[in-house]
Homo-oligomer: A and B are copies of this chain.
Amino acid sequence: MSAEASSSHMLWGGRFQSGPDPRFWALNASLPVDQRLALHDVRGTAAWVRALANAGVLTAAEREQLLAGLARIEAEFRAGTFSFAATDEDIHTAIERRLKEMVGEPALKVHTGRSRNDQVVTAFRLWLRDATDELDDLVRDLQTALVQRAEADQDVLIPGYTHLQQAQPILLSHWWLAHFWPLHRDRQRLAQLRARLNVLPLGSGALAGTTVPVDRTALAQDLGFADITPNSWDAVSDRDFAAEFLFWAALVGVHLSRLAEGVILFSTREFGFLSLDDAFSSGSSLMPQKKNPDGFELARGKSGALIGALTGLLTTLKALPSAYDKDLQEDKAPVFRAYDDLRALLPVLADSLRTLTVHPERAAAALDPDTLATDLADYLVRKGIPFREAHHIVGQVVQRAAARGVPITQWSVEDFRAVHPAFGPDVRTALDPWAAVARRDVPGGTAPARVREQLEYARATLRGPA
Protein backbone atom coordinates (compact mmCIF):
# COMPACT_ATOMS: atom_id res chain seq x y z
CA MET A 1 0.00 0.00 0.00
CA SER A 2 1.32 3.41 -0.76
CA ALA A 3 1.67 5.83 2.06
CA GLU A 4 -0.39 8.42 0.29
CA ALA A 5 -3.36 6.13 0.19
CA SER A 6 -3.33 5.27 3.87
CA SER A 7 -6.24 6.68 5.80
CA SER A 8 -4.09 6.96 8.88
CA HIS A 9 -1.45 8.73 6.98
CA MET A 10 -4.23 11.08 6.04
CA LEU A 11 -4.78 11.46 9.76
CA TRP A 12 -1.29 12.18 10.90
CA GLY A 13 1.02 12.33 7.94
CA GLY A 14 1.62 16.10 7.75
CA ARG A 15 4.98 16.05 9.46
CA PHE A 16 6.20 12.82 7.87
CA GLN A 17 8.51 12.75 4.90
CA SER A 18 7.92 9.16 3.93
CA GLY A 19 5.13 6.67 4.31
CA PRO A 20 5.15 3.70 6.62
CA ASP A 21 7.03 0.51 5.93
CA PRO A 22 4.43 -2.13 5.00
CA ARG A 23 5.47 -4.57 7.75
CA PHE A 24 5.45 -1.78 10.29
CA TRP A 25 2.04 -0.85 9.02
CA ALA A 26 0.77 -4.41 9.40
CA LEU A 27 2.12 -4.65 12.93
CA ASN A 28 0.71 -1.30 13.88
CA ALA A 29 -2.76 -1.73 12.42
CA SER A 30 -5.33 -2.94 14.90
CA LEU A 31 -8.26 -3.28 12.53
CA PRO A 32 -8.44 -7.09 12.59
CA VAL A 33 -9.07 -6.87 16.33
CA ASP A 34 -10.89 -3.62 16.89
CA GLN A 35 -13.44 -3.85 14.10
CA ARG A 36 -15.70 -5.39 16.71
CA LEU A 37 -16.06 -1.90 18.12
CA ALA A 38 -17.67 -0.63 14.92
CA LEU A 39 -21.19 0.02 16.17
CA HIS A 40 -19.97 1.43 19.45
CA ASP A 41 -17.59 3.81 17.70
CA VAL A 42 -20.41 4.97 15.46
CA ARG A 43 -22.50 5.61 18.53
CA GLY A 44 -19.73 7.46 20.31
CA THR A 45 -18.95 9.54 17.24
CA ALA A 46 -22.60 10.50 16.80
CA ALA A 47 -22.70 11.71 20.38
CA TRP A 48 -19.51 13.68 19.79
CA VAL A 49 -21.07 15.28 16.72
CA ARG A 50 -24.03 16.39 18.80
CA ALA A 51 -21.70 17.74 21.47
CA LEU A 52 -19.63 19.66 18.91
CA ALA A 53 -22.81 21.17 17.51
CA ASN A 54 -23.97 22.16 20.97
CA ALA A 55 -20.57 23.75 21.52
CA GLY A 56 -20.93 25.74 18.32
CA VAL A 57 -18.17 23.93 16.45
CA LEU A 58 -20.57 22.43 13.92
CA THR A 59 -23.59 24.03 12.34
CA ALA A 60 -26.96 22.36 12.60
CA ALA A 61 -26.71 21.46 8.93
CA GLU A 62 -23.30 19.87 9.37
CA ARG A 63 -24.58 17.98 12.36
CA GLU A 64 -27.47 16.53 10.39
CA GLN A 65 -25.27 15.59 7.45
CA LEU A 66 -22.84 13.83 9.76
CA LEU A 67 -25.52 12.02 11.75
CA ALA A 68 -27.14 10.86 8.54
CA GLY A 69 -23.76 9.61 7.32
CA LEU A 70 -23.13 7.78 10.57
CA ALA A 71 -26.58 6.23 10.39
CA ARG A 72 -25.79 4.93 6.92
CA ILE A 73 -22.44 3.58 8.15
CA GLU A 74 -24.21 1.83 10.99
CA ALA A 75 -26.62 0.35 8.49
CA GLU A 76 -23.70 -0.84 6.38
CA PHE A 77 -22.14 -2.57 9.36
CA ARG A 78 -25.42 -4.19 10.33
CA ALA A 79 -25.98 -5.37 6.79
CA GLY A 80 -22.40 -6.55 6.46
CA THR A 81 -21.81 -4.30 3.47
CA PHE A 82 -19.29 -1.94 5.00
CA SER A 83 -16.18 -2.20 2.91
CA PHE A 84 -12.79 -1.80 4.53
CA ALA A 85 -9.91 -0.22 2.66
CA ALA A 86 -6.48 -1.78 2.76
CA THR A 87 -5.33 1.52 4.19
CA ASP A 88 -7.61 1.56 7.21
CA GLU A 89 -5.41 1.51 10.30
CA ASP A 90 -8.17 0.79 12.74
CA ILE A 91 -11.94 0.85 12.95
CA HIS A 92 -11.93 4.50 13.92
CA THR A 93 -9.97 5.67 10.90
CA ALA A 94 -12.09 3.40 8.71
CA ILE A 95 -15.26 5.06 9.92
CA GLU A 96 -13.83 8.57 9.52
CA ARG A 97 -12.63 7.66 6.02
CA ARG A 98 -16.04 6.33 5.06
CA LEU A 99 -17.76 9.35 6.55
CA LYS A 100 -15.63 11.60 4.40
CA GLU A 101 -16.56 9.58 1.33
CA MET A 102 -20.20 10.03 2.22
CA VAL A 103 -20.51 13.60 3.41
CA GLY A 104 -17.31 15.31 2.34
CA GLU A 105 -15.83 18.29 4.16
CA PRO A 106 -17.90 18.21 7.37
CA ALA A 107 -16.24 14.85 8.10
CA LEU A 108 -12.93 16.72 8.38
CA LYS A 109 -14.35 18.50 11.42
CA VAL A 110 -15.48 15.44 13.33
CA HIS A 111 -12.19 14.94 15.09
CA THR A 112 -12.09 18.52 16.40
CA GLY A 113 -11.16 18.46 20.07
CA ARG A 114 -11.11 14.70 20.15
CA SER A 115 -8.17 12.33 20.16
CA ARG A 116 -8.13 8.67 19.30
CA ASN A 117 -7.01 8.20 22.88
CA ASP A 118 -10.34 9.27 24.37
CA GLN A 119 -12.32 8.03 21.35
CA VAL A 120 -11.04 4.46 21.50
CA VAL A 121 -11.51 4.00 25.20
CA THR A 122 -15.02 5.39 24.98
CA ALA A 123 -15.98 2.85 22.32
CA PHE A 124 -14.30 0.09 24.29
CA ARG A 125 -16.24 0.96 27.42
CA LEU A 126 -19.49 1.04 25.48
CA TRP A 127 -18.75 -2.36 23.97
CA LEU A 128 -17.77 -3.90 27.27
CA ARG A 129 -20.87 -2.51 28.96
CA ASP A 130 -23.01 -4.42 26.50
CA ALA A 131 -20.83 -7.50 26.89
CA THR A 132 -21.17 -7.49 30.67
CA ASP A 133 -24.93 -7.24 30.39
CA GLU A 134 -25.00 -10.20 28.05
CA LEU A 135 -22.72 -12.25 30.27
CA ASP A 136 -24.77 -11.42 33.32
CA ASP A 137 -27.75 -12.98 31.60
CA LEU A 138 -25.77 -16.07 30.70
CA VAL A 139 -24.41 -16.52 34.19
CA ARG A 140 -27.93 -16.16 35.53
CA ASP A 141 -29.13 -18.79 33.13
CA LEU A 142 -26.47 -21.20 34.36
CA GLN A 143 -27.52 -20.42 37.92
CA THR A 144 -31.09 -21.12 36.92
CA ALA A 145 -30.06 -24.50 35.57
CA LEU A 146 -28.31 -25.26 38.86
CA VAL A 147 -31.44 -24.29 40.77
CA GLN A 148 -33.52 -26.49 38.50
CA ARG A 149 -31.21 -29.41 39.12
CA ALA A 150 -31.23 -28.72 42.84
CA GLU A 151 -35.01 -28.76 42.79
CA ALA A 152 -35.11 -31.99 40.83
CA ASP A 153 -32.47 -33.85 42.83
CA GLN A 154 -33.60 -33.27 46.40
CA ASP A 155 -34.16 -36.98 46.98
CA VAL A 156 -30.73 -38.02 45.81
CA LEU A 157 -28.06 -38.82 48.32
CA ILE A 158 -24.43 -38.74 47.25
CA PRO A 159 -21.15 -39.01 49.10
CA GLY A 160 -19.69 -35.64 49.93
CA TYR A 161 -15.94 -35.40 49.39
CA THR A 162 -12.92 -33.88 50.99
CA HIS A 163 -9.51 -34.75 49.55
CA LEU A 164 -11.56 -36.65 46.96
CA GLN A 165 -12.19 -39.23 49.67
CA GLN A 166 -15.73 -39.83 50.80
CA ALA A 167 -16.40 -37.69 53.84
CA GLN A 168 -20.08 -37.44 54.74
CA PRO A 169 -23.33 -38.04 52.89
CA ILE A 170 -24.99 -34.97 51.39
CA LEU A 171 -27.91 -34.18 49.14
CA LEU A 172 -27.05 -33.91 45.48
CA SER A 173 -29.14 -30.73 45.58
CA HIS A 174 -26.76 -29.33 48.13
CA TRP A 175 -23.86 -29.98 45.77
CA TRP A 176 -25.52 -28.26 42.86
CA LEU A 177 -26.17 -25.25 45.06
CA ALA A 178 -22.55 -25.24 46.20
CA HIS A 179 -21.83 -24.24 42.60
CA PHE A 180 -24.62 -21.66 42.56
CA TRP A 181 -23.17 -19.31 45.17
CA PRO A 182 -19.79 -18.69 43.56
CA LEU A 183 -21.72 -17.55 40.48
CA HIS A 184 -23.83 -15.37 42.72
CA ARG A 185 -20.69 -13.64 43.95
CA ASP A 186 -19.59 -13.36 40.32
CA ARG A 187 -22.77 -11.49 39.49
CA GLN A 188 -22.17 -9.14 42.39
CA ARG A 189 -18.66 -8.48 41.19
CA LEU A 190 -19.90 -7.94 37.66
CA ALA A 191 -22.45 -5.37 38.77
CA GLN A 192 -19.78 -3.52 40.71
CA LEU A 193 -17.26 -3.48 37.90
CA ARG A 194 -19.95 -2.42 35.48
CA ALA A 195 -20.51 0.67 37.62
CA ARG A 196 -16.82 1.53 37.43
CA LEU A 197 -16.88 0.85 33.70
CA ASN A 198 -19.86 3.05 33.08
CA VAL A 199 -17.98 6.33 33.26
CA LEU A 200 -17.33 8.60 30.28
CA PRO A 201 -13.74 9.37 29.24
CA LEU A 202 -14.66 11.34 26.09
CA GLY A 203 -13.68 14.99 26.30
CA SER A 204 -10.28 14.17 27.74
CA GLY A 205 -8.49 14.82 24.46
CA ALA A 206 -5.15 13.17 24.02
CA LEU A 207 -4.26 13.51 27.69
CA ALA A 208 -4.91 17.04 28.94
CA GLY A 209 -8.59 17.69 28.27
CA THR A 210 -10.19 19.15 25.19
CA THR A 211 -10.10 22.80 24.20
CA VAL A 212 -13.62 22.61 22.81
CA PRO A 213 -16.15 23.65 25.45
CA VAL A 214 -18.23 20.50 25.25
CA ASP A 215 -20.67 19.68 28.01
CA ARG A 216 -19.21 16.37 29.21
CA THR A 217 -22.10 15.65 31.54
CA ALA A 218 -24.60 15.96 28.71
CA LEU A 219 -22.35 13.79 26.57
CA ALA A 220 -22.35 11.14 29.30
CA GLN A 221 -26.14 11.21 29.43
CA ASP A 222 -26.34 10.94 25.67
CA LEU A 223 -24.27 7.73 25.83
CA GLY A 224 -25.88 6.36 28.96
CA PHE A 225 -22.83 6.78 31.18
CA ALA A 226 -23.52 7.37 34.86
CA ASP A 227 -20.57 9.66 35.45
CA ILE A 228 -17.59 11.38 33.83
CA THR A 229 -13.90 10.73 34.45
CA PRO A 230 -12.33 13.25 36.85
CA ASN A 231 -8.83 13.46 35.34
CA SER A 232 -8.04 13.52 31.65
CA TRP A 233 -4.65 11.75 31.91
CA ASP A 234 -6.17 8.96 33.96
CA ALA A 235 -9.15 8.85 31.59
CA VAL A 236 -7.05 7.84 28.60
CA SER A 237 -4.55 5.63 30.43
CA ASP A 238 -6.93 3.76 32.73
CA ARG A 239 -7.57 0.16 31.77
CA ASP A 240 -8.63 -0.96 35.22
CA PHE A 241 -12.03 -1.82 33.84
CA ALA A 242 -10.49 -4.25 31.35
CA ALA A 243 -8.25 -5.83 33.99
CA GLU A 244 -11.17 -6.08 36.38
CA PHE A 245 -13.29 -7.70 33.70
CA LEU A 246 -10.53 -10.21 32.94
CA PHE A 247 -10.18 -11.05 36.62
CA TRP A 248 -13.91 -11.49 36.75
CA ALA A 249 -13.77 -13.82 33.76
CA ALA A 250 -10.82 -15.74 35.20
CA LEU A 251 -12.64 -16.31 38.46
CA VAL A 252 -15.79 -17.38 36.63
CA GLY A 253 -13.48 -19.71 34.73
CA VAL A 254 -12.21 -21.16 37.98
CA HIS A 255 -15.75 -21.66 39.20
CA LEU A 256 -16.76 -23.36 35.98
CA SER A 257 -13.66 -25.54 36.16
CA ARG A 258 -14.63 -26.76 39.59
CA LEU A 259 -18.19 -27.51 38.56
CA ALA A 260 -16.82 -29.18 35.44
CA GLU A 261 -14.36 -31.29 37.40
CA GLY A 262 -17.23 -32.53 39.55
CA VAL A 263 -19.43 -33.38 36.60
CA ILE A 264 -16.55 -35.08 34.78
CA LEU A 265 -15.84 -37.21 37.84
CA PHE A 266 -19.46 -37.99 38.61
CA SER A 267 -20.03 -39.13 35.04
CA THR A 268 -17.11 -41.54 34.95
CA ARG A 269 -17.90 -45.23 34.98
CA GLU A 270 -16.23 -45.41 38.40
CA PHE A 271 -18.39 -42.81 40.12
CA GLY A 272 -21.38 -43.22 37.88
CA PHE A 273 -23.78 -40.75 39.48
CA LEU A 274 -24.57 -38.88 36.26
CA SER A 275 -24.84 -39.45 32.51
CA LEU A 276 -24.63 -36.61 30.03
CA ASP A 277 -27.09 -36.42 27.21
CA ASP A 278 -25.86 -37.54 23.80
CA ALA A 279 -26.48 -34.04 22.47
CA PHE A 280 -23.84 -32.70 24.84
CA SER A 281 -21.27 -35.46 24.46
CA SER A 282 -18.88 -36.46 21.78
CA GLY A 283 -17.27 -39.65 20.62
CA SER A 284 -13.91 -40.90 19.47
CA SER A 285 -12.60 -41.28 15.95
CA LEU A 286 -10.96 -44.55 16.96
CA MET A 287 -12.82 -46.04 19.90
CA PRO A 288 -16.43 -46.83 19.05
CA GLN A 289 -17.66 -47.02 22.64
CA LYS A 290 -16.54 -43.59 23.80
CA LYS A 291 -18.89 -40.90 25.03
CA ASN A 292 -16.95 -37.95 26.35
CA PRO A 293 -17.83 -34.87 28.42
CA ASP A 294 -16.09 -32.47 26.06
CA GLY A 295 -18.10 -29.41 27.08
CA PHE A 296 -17.05 -29.72 30.69
CA GLU A 297 -13.47 -30.50 29.75
CA LEU A 298 -13.39 -27.35 27.66
CA ALA A 299 -14.76 -25.38 30.59
CA ARG A 300 -11.92 -26.73 32.69
CA GLY A 301 -9.34 -26.21 29.97
CA LYS A 302 -10.40 -22.69 29.09
CA SER A 303 -9.93 -21.57 32.68
CA GLY A 304 -6.23 -21.65 31.77
CA ALA A 305 -6.71 -19.30 28.84
CA LEU A 306 -8.81 -16.99 31.00
CA ILE A 307 -6.16 -16.82 33.70
CA GLY A 308 -3.53 -16.27 31.01
CA ALA A 309 -5.52 -13.41 29.52
CA LEU A 310 -5.62 -11.68 32.90
CA THR A 311 -1.92 -12.24 33.54
CA GLY A 312 -1.12 -10.93 30.10
CA LEU A 313 -3.02 -7.67 30.43
CA LEU A 314 -1.74 -6.94 33.92
CA THR A 315 1.79 -7.51 32.69
CA THR A 316 1.22 -5.26 29.70
CA LEU A 317 -0.06 -2.50 31.98
CA LYS A 318 2.88 -2.74 34.36
CA ALA A 319 5.03 0.39 34.46
CA LEU A 320 3.54 2.15 31.45
CA PRO A 321 4.91 5.68 31.63
CA SER A 322 2.60 7.85 29.56
CA ALA A 323 -1.02 8.89 29.39
CA TYR A 324 -1.25 6.70 26.33
CA ASP A 325 1.36 4.19 25.22
CA LYS A 326 0.88 2.03 22.17
CA ASP A 327 1.14 -0.99 24.47
CA LEU A 328 -2.49 -0.31 25.32
CA GLN A 329 -3.44 -1.57 21.88
CA GLU A 330 -3.01 -5.01 23.44
CA ASP A 331 -5.99 -4.41 25.74
CA LYS A 332 -8.83 -5.53 23.50
CA ALA A 333 -7.78 -8.94 22.18
CA PRO A 334 -7.73 -10.65 25.61
CA VAL A 335 -11.04 -9.06 26.57
CA PHE A 336 -12.68 -10.21 23.35
CA ARG A 337 -11.31 -13.72 23.78
CA ALA A 338 -12.50 -13.97 27.35
CA TYR A 339 -15.93 -12.79 26.33
CA ASP A 340 -16.07 -15.24 23.42
CA ASP A 341 -15.00 -18.14 25.59
CA LEU A 342 -17.59 -17.47 28.27
CA ARG A 343 -20.34 -16.75 25.78
CA ALA A 344 -19.68 -20.09 24.15
CA LEU A 345 -19.31 -22.05 27.38
CA LEU A 346 -22.07 -20.79 29.62
CA PRO A 347 -25.13 -21.84 27.59
CA VAL A 348 -23.65 -25.23 26.78
CA LEU A 349 -22.99 -25.91 30.44
CA ALA A 350 -26.47 -24.74 31.42
CA ASP A 351 -28.20 -27.02 28.95
CA SER A 352 -25.83 -29.89 29.66
CA LEU A 353 -26.96 -29.69 33.27
CA ARG A 354 -30.61 -29.49 32.32
CA THR A 355 -30.40 -32.55 30.11
CA LEU A 356 -28.20 -34.89 32.10
CA THR A 357 -29.53 -38.00 33.82
CA VAL A 358 -29.00 -38.71 37.50
CA HIS A 359 -28.57 -42.28 38.77
CA PRO A 360 -29.72 -42.13 42.41
CA GLU A 361 -29.32 -45.86 42.96
CA ARG A 362 -25.71 -45.83 41.86
CA ALA A 363 -24.99 -42.86 44.11
CA ALA A 364 -26.61 -44.62 47.04
CA ALA A 365 -24.69 -47.79 46.37
CA ALA A 366 -21.44 -45.88 46.19
CA LEU A 367 -21.81 -44.45 49.66
CA ASP A 368 -19.21 -45.85 52.03
CA PRO A 369 -20.66 -46.73 55.46
CA ASP A 370 -17.55 -45.14 56.94
CA THR A 371 -18.93 -41.75 55.94
CA LEU A 372 -21.09 -42.12 59.05
CA ALA A 373 -18.04 -42.14 61.31
CA THR A 374 -18.50 -38.50 62.32
CA ASP A 375 -22.07 -39.30 63.32
CA LEU A 376 -20.81 -42.20 65.35
CA ALA A 377 -18.44 -39.84 67.14
CA ASP A 378 -21.28 -37.37 67.68
CA TYR A 379 -23.28 -40.25 69.13
CA LEU A 380 -20.51 -40.83 71.65
CA VAL A 381 -20.37 -37.12 72.43
CA ARG A 382 -24.06 -37.31 73.23
CA LYS A 383 -23.13 -40.16 75.60
CA GLY A 384 -20.83 -37.73 77.41
CA ILE A 385 -17.50 -38.58 75.85
CA PRO A 386 -15.39 -35.56 74.89
CA PHE A 387 -15.25 -35.14 71.16
CA ARG A 388 -11.52 -35.62 70.79
CA GLU A 389 -11.74 -38.96 72.63
CA ALA A 390 -14.83 -39.98 70.69
CA HIS A 391 -12.96 -39.26 67.48
CA HIS A 392 -10.17 -41.58 68.57
CA ILE A 393 -12.54 -44.39 69.52
CA VAL A 394 -14.34 -44.20 66.20
CA GLY A 395 -10.99 -44.19 64.41
CA GLN A 396 -10.40 -47.59 66.00
CA VAL A 397 -13.86 -48.76 64.99
CA VAL A 398 -13.12 -47.87 61.41
CA GLN A 399 -9.75 -49.55 61.48
CA ARG A 400 -11.25 -52.72 62.93
CA ALA A 401 -14.06 -52.70 60.35
CA ALA A 402 -11.50 -52.62 57.58
CA ALA A 403 -9.50 -55.40 59.17
CA ARG A 404 -12.59 -57.59 59.63
CA GLY A 405 -13.99 -56.72 56.23
CA VAL A 406 -17.36 -55.98 57.79
CA PRO A 407 -18.77 -52.48 57.21
CA ILE A 408 -19.89 -50.71 60.35
CA THR A 409 -23.47 -50.63 59.16
CA GLN A 410 -23.45 -54.40 59.57
CA TRP A 411 -21.92 -54.47 63.03
CA SER A 412 -23.86 -55.72 65.98
CA VAL A 413 -24.16 -53.68 69.12
CA GLU A 414 -21.75 -56.11 70.73
CA ASP A 415 -19.22 -55.45 68.06
CA PHE A 416 -19.34 -51.78 68.97
CA ARG A 417 -19.27 -52.45 72.69
CA ALA A 418 -16.14 -54.51 72.20
CA VAL A 419 -14.43 -51.30 71.20
CA HIS A 420 -15.98 -49.08 73.83
CA PRO A 421 -18.68 -49.63 76.47
CA ALA A 422 -20.41 -46.33 75.81
CA PHE A 423 -22.02 -47.75 72.69
CA GLY A 424 -25.60 -48.83 73.32
CA PRO A 425 -28.45 -50.37 71.36
CA ASP A 426 -29.35 -46.98 69.94
CA VAL A 427 -26.08 -46.89 68.01
CA ARG A 428 -27.88 -47.85 64.85
CA THR A 429 -29.61 -44.46 64.78
CA ALA A 430 -26.17 -43.03 64.05
CA LEU A 431 -25.74 -45.29 61.06
CA ASP A 432 -28.49 -44.10 58.75
CA PRO A 433 -27.28 -41.76 56.03
CA TRP A 434 -30.61 -39.96 55.70
CA ALA A 435 -30.65 -39.36 59.44
CA ALA A 436 -27.06 -38.15 59.17
CA VAL A 437 -28.05 -35.69 56.50
CA ALA A 438 -31.01 -34.50 58.54
CA ARG A 439 -28.76 -33.84 61.52
CA ARG A 440 -26.82 -31.15 59.58
CA ASP A 441 -29.69 -28.89 60.50
CA VAL A 442 -28.06 -25.46 60.58
CA PRO A 443 -28.36 -22.62 58.09
CA GLY A 444 -26.28 -23.68 55.13
CA GLY A 445 -26.33 -27.34 56.15
CA THR A 446 -27.34 -30.26 54.00
CA ALA A 447 -30.48 -31.18 55.97
CA PRO A 448 -33.36 -31.38 53.49
CA ALA A 449 -35.27 -28.58 55.16
CA ARG A 450 -32.18 -26.40 55.09
CA VAL A 451 -31.61 -27.16 51.43
CA ARG A 452 -35.20 -26.15 50.67
CA GLU A 453 -34.59 -22.93 52.58
CA GLN A 454 -31.38 -22.40 50.60
CA LEU A 455 -33.20 -23.04 47.33
CA GLU A 456 -35.71 -20.40 48.22
CA TYR A 457 -32.95 -17.92 48.92
CA ALA A 458 -31.18 -18.82 45.70
CA ARG A 459 -34.32 -18.34 43.66
CA ALA A 460 -34.85 -14.95 45.28
CA THR A 461 -31.41 -13.75 44.23
CA LEU A 462 -32.22 -14.61 40.63
CA ARG A 463 -35.27 -12.42 40.61
CA GLY A 464 -33.45 -9.14 41.25
CA PRO A 465 -30.14 -7.66 40.25
CA ALA A 466 -27.10 -9.24 41.86
Contacts and interface: CB of A to CB of B under 8 A. Distances in A.
Nearest to A268: B164
Given A327-B300, A328-B301, A254 B314 contact: yes
A440 to B, nearest CB: 3
Interface string A276-300: 0111111111111111111101101
Interface string A158-170: 0111111111111
Contacts of A207: 160-162, 167-168, 170
A210 B440 contact: yes
A317 to B, nearest CB: 5
Interface stretch (A70-78, A80-88, A446-454): A446-454
Nearest to A161: B322
Contacts of A284: 12, 115-116, 162, 167, 206
A360 interface: no
A59 B287 CA distance: 24
Total copies of the chain: 4
A373 interface: yes
A2 B394 CA distance: 22
A418 interface: no
Contacts of A211: 374-375, 378, 439-441
Nearest to A370: B289
B269 A165 contact: yes
Given A233-B174, A282-B8, A370-B289, A164 B444 contact: no
Q: Which of A231, A293, A325 has the most CB of B within 10 A?
A: A231
Nearest to A280: B24
A289 B376 CA distance: 10
B13 A287 contact: no
Given A12-B391, A240-B251, A261-B320, 11 more contacts: A11-B285, A14-B392, A15-B291, A170-B207, A182-B234, A208-B445, A230-B454, A289-B395, A297-B327, A300-B327, A318-B318
A360 to B, nearest CB: 16
Nearest to A206: B286
A213 B320 contact: no
A350 to B, nearest CB: 10
A203 interface: yes
Interface string A230-257: 1111110110100110010011011001
Contacts of A53: none
A304 B278 contact: no
A192 interface: yes
Nearest to A166: B269
